[in-house]
Amino acid sequence: MRIPLSRPMIGEEEKKAVLEVLESGQLAQGEQVASFEREFAEYIGTKEAVATSSGTAALFVALKALGVQPGDKVVTTPFTFVATASAILHCGGIPVFCDVDRQTCNLDPERLKATLERESGVKGVVVVHLYGTPCALEEILDITRSRGLFLLEDCAQAHGAMYRGRKVGSFGDAGVFSFYPTKNMTTGEGGMVTTNDSELAKRCRMLVNHGSRRRYYHEILGYNFRMTDIAAAIGRVQLRRLEEGNARRRAHASFYFRELSGIEGLELPFIPRDTLPAFHQYTVKVRERRDELLQFLRSWGVGCEVYYPVPLHRQAFLQSYGYGAFPVAESLSREVLSIPVHPGLSPGDLEEVARLVRAFFAK
């Protein structure tokens, strides 16, 4: 694509950091990983951070450490990437879906209350800060705490996003992040669990490293979800540039808000009060002709994508659970479209995207 939807921002610093690791001979989990964990925890504002091999691994490890066992129900959104639900299933848990708020695309607190009143055997709640927009954390925390449920924040798209002056990933019992190449910062593949609970962090570290705290002494059944020093070296450089990249994303979003406001049939992203989004995606809603707009933009070399075309309760591997309808998630899957907002866009790129969107709706 002439103007890609996403582009990992890899520069000379990352290349130098990787080369230093290769020359050191310490390629697996080592001091680079330990340093990355400390720096990431400090950035998010938590006591602990545990690096993993992927964001999905981070979700799974966090859920296991939080005590999800076979048969436990975990409430989450049907409008998210599949890993949010599959991690619950890999623990033996049962995903219970709750519909979302149309404006934010995030879990709706009022619907969450209704879901918890209806369902028994719920162990906890997983919220997703979709597209980099923070959830209604205060309301949701009130709901989970009053019922003795854990709250896990899926921050895979929300690195550096803030809610009431604090970074997401620091509110719940734990937060999880992904460092996939399309994210606001990357390690190639990788993930992180953040928490203020030192015992929870210890359990996560054991699960990541074959159930051991000391080499060859295995206390629990664990896994090999370790991050490499190569990935961590990239992540440390990326973390230092994250705020700058997020500022560019917000500036690009502001441009779109100015240039695309007032177009009939086009709904721009909603920014809740007291939040600072990370704009992992700039996602508009198109009530009619969404797919036509997607094809039109692609025909002009502009990358765009639907996140997500099939809600989780409609996915084939979940059909045996007999989920009902979730009307908001279903309508969003027919309307949402993400357009380029990444830090690598030039002023000319932004102007071209806006011009093409205006031209489409003028037809």
For residue range 115-125, list pLDDT tens digits in order: 999 999 999 99
pLDDT of 311 higher than 90: yes
pTM value is: 0.97
Distance CA 347, CA 139 (A): 39
Provide the terminal-to-terminal Cα distance of the chain, rounded to the nearest Å. Answer: 24
The per-residue pLDDT for 285 is 98
With DSSP H G I counted as helix, E B as strand and the rest as coil, what are the percentages for the chain, rounded to 5? 45, 20, 40
pLDDT of 314 higher than 90: yes
pLDDT of 182 higher than 90: yes
Answer yes or no: same fold for 12-237 and 242-362: no
DSSP state of 87: H
pLDDT of 81 higher than 90: yes
The per-residue pLDDT for 171 is 98
Least confidently predicted of 78-82, 211-215, 306-310, 340-344:
211-215
Protein fold of 12-237: Aspartate Aminotransferase; domain 2 (3.40.640)
The per-residue pLDDT for 26 is 83
Task: Convert the pLDDT of each residue in 119-155 to its tens digit.
Answer: 999 999 999 999 999 999 999 999 999 999 999 999 9
The per-residue pLDDT for 29 is 82
Higher pLDDT: 363 or 71? It is 71
Q: Would you say 269 and 324 are in contact if contact means Cβ atoms under 8 Å apart?
A: no
Distance CA 343, CA 341 (A): 7
The per-residue pLDDT for 353 is 98
pLDDT of 214 higher than 90: no
Domain ranges of the chain: 12-237, 242-362
190-225 burial code (b ≥16 CB/10 A, e <16): bbbbbbbbeebbebbbbbbbbeeeeeeeeeeebbeb
Average of per-residue pLDDT across 248-260: 98
pLDDT of 27 higher than 90: no
Distance CA 212, CA 73 (A): 28
Q: What are phi and psi of 217, to 5 degrees?
A: -115, 110
Protein fold of 242-362: Aspartate Aminotransferase, domain 1 (3.90.1150)
Task: Convert the pLDDT of each residue in 101-120 to its tens digit.
Answer: 999 999 999 999 999 999 99
